[in-house]
A and B are shown apart, each in its own frame.
Chain A
């Protein structure tokens, strides 16, 4: 069966360190993968999209990698801040048609001051 797994339910790191979140998938061949941030009581907010032919994407302190051989995406936040504390969700689109995005269950990141 198709599955998306995010490495852990919760991750605590010290302010200033790099946070690394993992998204693994099985039995998918996604055209692209996305990362979203969700704060308590709010809807998810889009952060980054990486396509199957891209190895790495950056946006300010965020970096995403996409390894279609390992079937894995890594999401990095460098120089983390307490304001980065949130739940981060990965989502993928198997078909590339944008019709049915499938989400992982998320990783709750806490950045400790």
Chain B
């Protein structure tokens, strides 16, 4: 049982480049999330999805886009990368009401130079 899988683990981008962070879960969870974590800070919610075809903004959505075409996949797109997007990104999934614990991936460490 793989759980939540994120790729890549590390990436260096130049300012203005774009990339997609991949996230897949095999637990048939409806709820999926993208968080970013800066040093000494808590996790900040970027976007979330409550099911295929449904996405919504979190606390810090600017500069990011998401899509949810299947239950399993929830990619995060960075357009025109900026140094402020240097962070560790975590994808997570949750089974739904009555099963409210988050399962996290191992993270993607992104540096924008």
Mask, A36-66, CB within 8 Å of B = 1, is 1000011111100100000000000000000
**C-alpha gap A41/B48 in the complex (Å):** 23
* A100 and B48 within 8 A (CB): yes
Contact-residue size bin, chain A (C-beta under 8 Å from the other chain): 20 to 34
CA distance A99 to B31 in the complex (A): 8
Within 8 A of A (CB), among B36-69: 40-43, 45, 48, 50, 56, 58-59
Chain B interface helix/strand/loop/mixed: strand
Are the CB atoms of A89 and B43 closer together than 8 Å?
yes
B102 proximal to A (CB < 8 A): yes
CB-CB nearest in chain A for B41? A105
B-side interface residues toward A, CB under 8 Å? 4, 31, 33, 35, 40-43, 45, 48, 50, 56, 58-59, 90, 92, 94, 96-97, 100-107
